[in-house]
Amino acid sequence: MMSSMACWSSLMDSPADSRSSLVWASRWREWAIGTPTVSRSVSLSSHSARSNSSIARRHSGLKLVRKTWVMSLGSRLARSPSRARRAGAGRAGSTRITASPDRIRVVVACPVRLGSRSFQRGLAARAPIEITRASMGAIVEPGRNDPARAGLVHISSHARGTRQVFVKATDFRKDGPGKKIGSGASLPQARRPHGNHPARLAMTAFSAARARGRPATGSAARTTQIGAVESGRRLVRMDTHCHSHASSKPVIAAAGLIGCPESYSEPERVYDQALARGMDLVTITDHDTIAGAMELVDRGFQNFVVGEEVSVKFPEDRCLLHVLVWDLTPALHDEIGANGLRDDVYQFAAWLRERNLPHSFAHPLYVQNGRLSRWHIERATLLFKAFETTNGAHDDTLNRAIARYLDTLSPAKTQELINRHGMQPVWPRVWEKARTGGSDDHALLNVGRAWTAIEPAEGETLTADEFVRRIAAGHGTSGGQGGHSALLAHQISTVGANHFARQHYKRRSPTGRYVSAKFLKFFGVEVDAPSKKRVAAYRAARKIWLGKKASKPSPVLKALQSEFKPLLAKYPNLKDRMDPQAWTDGTPASQHEEMAEFIGELIQALGRAMESSAAKAVSKKDASKILEHLTGYLVLQAAQLPYIVSLFCQNKERRFVDQFQHETGSADPAEAARPLRVMKFTDTLADVNGVCRFIQNAARQAHDTGRDLTVVTSTRFDIPVKDLPNIINFDPVFATKMPKYENLELALPPILKMLRYADHIKPDVIHISTPGPVGCVGMLAAKLLRVPVVGVYHTDFPAYVDRLFDDRAATAMCEKFMSFFYKPFKAVFTRSQDYTDALINLGIAPERIVRLRAGFDDRHFSPAFRDTSRWPALGLKRNSVKVLFCGRVSVEKNLPHLTSIWADVRKACAARGVDTELVIIGDGPYRATMQRELRGQAAHFLGFRHGEELSRLYASCDLFVFPSTTDTLGQVVMESQASGMPVLVTDIGGPQEVVDDGVTGFVLPAEDARRWTDAIVDLVCDADKRVAMGRAAAESMKSRTFAASFEHYWQVHEDARERWASAHRAESKARRGEPVSV
C-alpha cells in the first residue's frame, strides 16, 4: 500500500519544466469529479503556439515515435475545428493535474508537443479526465534505450466500463532508469522478455488487487500476485484462446475470394478487453503464427503469454485438429514448420512432450474438414494432456459432451484405448486431463468471457510461467460461457463490418456512408462519417443535377428514417455502447441476446413500415415501385444471413456428437431420459376448418398429457385458442389478405425470430402441417438443426388449383412444388387411404406414408349440446329442419353444386309440407356470390363461430351436407356425426371413409345433382329415418376419439426419431468399415 502511494506521490512531485512534462489522454472520457486534496499545475506554455484548428482537424489521433504507441484522442474537441477554437487551441495554457488519495484528474487546456518537430500534433481539450486509484492498472519504468519514452509513467484504467488514460512525465536528464522522481519513490525495474527490447509495463500488486475488490498485499515488484475470488477460492484466470489480426487467413473459402481474413482485432485491444473483464493473464493464440502475440511482447506488455493455435493433421486421412500451445518463443514456433510437425499429429505430440510445452486440444468435437470421428478423438486422448472443455465460440452442447467424455476416463479406460489403437500415451497419467477454457474470440466481443483457472496454494504467488506449467501438469479447470448461434453471427458480422469499412466504405455515396457509419458502430468499427449537412447538400446537388431522374430514397431507407431511433431507444444498453468510449468492455454486438433481439425487431419494424407503400404500389400496378419493395424485402432477408449461417455452423456437429456420446457411453442421463420434443409449424391456425381444429386439438391434448409439443405460426388473425402456452404466434413481417380469399392471410413470417426460437427449443422432430411460408421456415429449421422432419398431407393442393384455375400448367407446377416439398419428409401422414395414391404419384415412397387414425375432440361435439332456443336470435325459425354446411365458403369445397340444387330441395320439401332452412357456418371468397344466388331461399350465413357456440350450433342442426371433393378427411364430417346428425358426402376424397353408407349417412356421386336433391329431401322429410341415422352416427364416432388418434400420432414421431438415429449410426459404422446390422 505504501509503495503504491509513493508512486502517486512521484507523479505529483514531478518537475514542472516546460519541456520535461507532458500529459495526454488515449481514448479518454470524463469520469465523475472527486474532491481534490492535492493539486499541481504543469506549464506547457513554452511550446510554440503553431498548433491550430487546422492541425486539430487533420489529426484525430496521435502517433508516437516508431509507431510504438498508437493513441486515439476519441474527443469531439480534437475532431472539430470550431470546438477546438472554443477550447483555446493555438493559445498558450497549462495542464492541471489534481489528485486525491483515491483519484487523479487531468485537465489539458493547450496544444501539446510530442517528441521532435516532425511529430508535432495539436491537442485542444478542457474537459477533465479522471481515474480512480482502484482502476489504476500499471506503472511503467523509464526506458534505458528509448529517449522518446524516458521517464514514462503509465496509469491504465482497466476497470469495467472505463477507458485507458495515460499520464506521461518525460525527463531528458541523464539519470538512469529507476531514478527517484520528486519524493524519492523508485519505479520498479521490469524484466526484459526478449533481448534488447526494454520491458515497459509492470503491473502493481495494488492495481490488480483493488481491481478484484480485495485488500492489497505485497509490494509493487516485478512479480504480481493476482487472482479472482470465486466460491470462496482464489483463482488466477486467463482466457487461453483469443485471436488478433494476425489470424489473417479466411475462416471459410468464400471469404477468401473477397480477401476477408478471420479477424481484424488489434492485439492491444485484445489485451485491454481481457483485463477489463477480469483476466489476470493474457494470451493471443492466432492460427499458425505468433506475430500478433509478439507485437505485445516487443512492446513489453506484462503478464502476457505467447500462444498459437497450431493446425495439425492425422497422417492416415488428413483429419484436421487445432491444438493450442503456450509459452512459445520465435525459435520454438519456427521448429514447428521446419520439422513438418503440422502434417503429423504423432510427431507433433512427441515434440510437445519433449519440450514440455503447455497445450490443449481446442474444440475437440468441432468437425474441421469432415473427417473427425470417434477414432480420432480416442487417439487424441492418448496424445494430449489437456482438452478445451469451454469454448466460447462453439455451441455449449459440444463443451458439455467433451467434458462428460473426460469424466469417463480412468486407468482402465485408458488401457482399453491403448489396446484398441495399439499405441502408448505420450504423457504420464493421461487420464488426468487439464481442462481449459477460452473465448475463441475473433472480433473483440467475448474476450474474457471464457477462461482457464488455476487455484494457487494459500500465500502462493503465481507467475505467468508457473500458470502455464500447471496446465502442462494437468491442473487447469475451465469456466465461463459457451457459444451459441447469436454469438457466432455477431463474430461473422463484426469481421464483415471491418472488411466493409476497409474495402468498400469510402466508395459509397455520402448518404450510404452516413447510414453505414451508424450500423458499423454496432460492431465496433468507427469511420469518418459525413455530417447531416453534407448528406443534405449531396442530395440537393444530385436533385439539381439530375432533376426528375434523381432517385428518391429507397423504401428501406425511408423506413429506417422513421423506425431506427425509436426502436434503439428501447435498448438503452445498446444505445450507450454505440459510443466508442465504451468499446473496451464490449461493442453493442457483444450483448448477444439483446443485439439479436434488436435486429429481429428492426427487420420486423422495417417490414411493417413498408407495408402500406407496398400495397399502394400493387394497387396502382406500379412495376418499378413493386420491384423496389421486393428488393427491400430481399435486403431485409439478406440481413439475417449471418444468423442463419451461424445456426447451420453451430448445429452441424449435432449428429456426430449424439453418435459419439452413444458409442462412448458419455451421454447425459437426464438428456437421454428426456421425453420427445416436437415443434409443429403451421400457416393456418385462426381459420374455421378441420385442419385448424385438428392442430388446436393436438396442442391441447399434448398440453393435457404432458407431451412436449410446441405449435408455432405467424398470423395477425385472432387465434381462438388463447389459453394454451404451447401455441406461439410470431407477428408477421408482412401480411395481407389473400386475393379472392379475404378470410385467408398471406403472411411473411419473421424468419430470424422463428429460427432462433427453434434453436432455443432444440426439438428432436419438426412437424410441418402446411407447405406455406411458415412451413418453409420449419423445413429450414429442420435443415439447420439436423433433425428429422415429418408432416401431414391435410389438403390436396393440386386438386384445389385445378378446380380454382382450370389450368393444367398451374396444376402441374403445384404438383412439382408439392413433390419437392414433401420428398425430404421421413414420414408423411395422410388422414385417408384415398390420398395414399396421390402421395405416391407425387414421388413419396410408400413406406414413408403413414395412415393417421381419424379422431376428433369428443368433449366438444355431442347431442347433449342441442339447444334450439337460440335460433330466433340468429334469424332462423325454431321448428324448421336445419341443413348445415361448416367450412371455408369457397369454390373448391364444391359449394356451387350445393347452391344449384338448394332451390329444388326447398321447393320439394315445401310440397311435402316441411319447412327447411340452410345454415352456412364459415366464410370465404364464394360467400358473396352464394348469398346473392340464394337470396330469398332461406339460406343463413353465420360467419365464423367458435368454442361452445359452435358445439351448440352443430348439435341443434338436423342434417349435415359436405359436397367437397378435395378434402383429405373432413374433420367437420366426424364432428357433425358426433353431434347426432346424419351426413351426406361425395365419393371423392377422404370424408367417405368415416361414413357408413346407408347407416350414418350417404356417400353420393360428386356431380349427380338429382341424387343429392333426392337424398336431402328424403332425410329432411323423414324425421324418423333422420333421427335413427343421427343416433347411429353419434354411436359410430365414439371409437374415433382424438385421444386415441393423438397417441398414434405421437408414436409416429417417436419412430421417426429412432429411425433417424439408427440410420446415422449405421452410416457412421459404414464409414469406419464396421459391419452394419440390417
Backbone conformation region of residue 966, classed left if phi is above 0, alpha if psi is from -120 to 50, else beta: alpha
Burial (CB count <10 Å: 0-12, 13-18, 19+), residue 343: middle
Residue 309 Cα to chain centre, angstroms:
26
Q: How far apart are CA 448 and CA 152, in angstroms?
A: 28
- What's the one-letter identity of residue 272? D
CA distances from 1036 to 257, 339, 981 (A): 67, 82, 12
- What's the one-letter identity of residue 201? L
Which residue has cell 492495481? 207
Ranges under pLDDT 70 in the chain: 1-233, 251-257, 548-551, 688-690, 738-744, 796, 800, 803-805, 1065, 1067-1078
Helices 510-521 and 555-569 pack at an angle, to 10 degrees, of 30
First to last CA, the chain: 75
The β-bridge relationship of strands 789-792 and 765-768 is parallel
Which residue has cell 336431402? 1016
* 662-851 CATH pick, 3.40.50.300, 3.40.30.10, 3.40.50.2300, 3.40.50.2000: 3.40.50.2000
Task: Give every strand in the sheet of 38-43, ordered side by side.
Answer: 38-43, 94-99, 103-108, 129-132
Q: What is the pLDDT of residue 296?
A: 94
Contact between 266 and 222 under an 8 Å Cβ cutoff? The reply is no
Q: What phi and psi, each to the nearest 5 degrees, are found at residue 138?
A: -160, 155
Tens-digit pLDDT profile for residues 22-65? 222 222 222 222 222 233 333 322 222 233 332 222 333 322 22
Instruction: With H, G, I as helix, E, B as strand and everything else as coil, classify residue 390.
Output: strand
- Domain extents for the chain? 2-211, 228-483, 487-639, 662-851, 863-1040
Q: What is the pLDDT of residue 540?
A: 85
662-851 and 863-1040 share one fold: yes
CATH placement of domain 863-1040:
3.40.50.2000
Q: Give ∠ CA 19-23-26 in degrees, rounded to 5.
A: 140
Residue 977 Cα to chain centre, angstroms:
48
Q: How far apart are CA 291 and CA 265, in angstroms?
A: 13
> For residue 126, which of 76, 58, 163 has the smallest C-alpha distance?
76
1016: β partners: none
Tens-digit pLDDT profile for residues 885-936? 998 898 888 999 999 999 999 999 999 999 999 999 988 889 999 999 999 9
The structure's pTM equals 0.69
Is the domain covering 228-483 a CATH 3.20.20.140 domain? yes
Q: What is the pLDDT of residue 986?
A: 93
Instruction: With H, G, I as helix, E, B as strand and everything else as coil, classify residue 994.
Output: helix
Q: Which stretch of DSSP H or E encloses residue 68?
A: none
Q: How far apart are CA 404 and CA 390, in angstroms?
A: 12
Contact between 144 and 177 under an 8 Å Cβ cutoff? The reply is yes
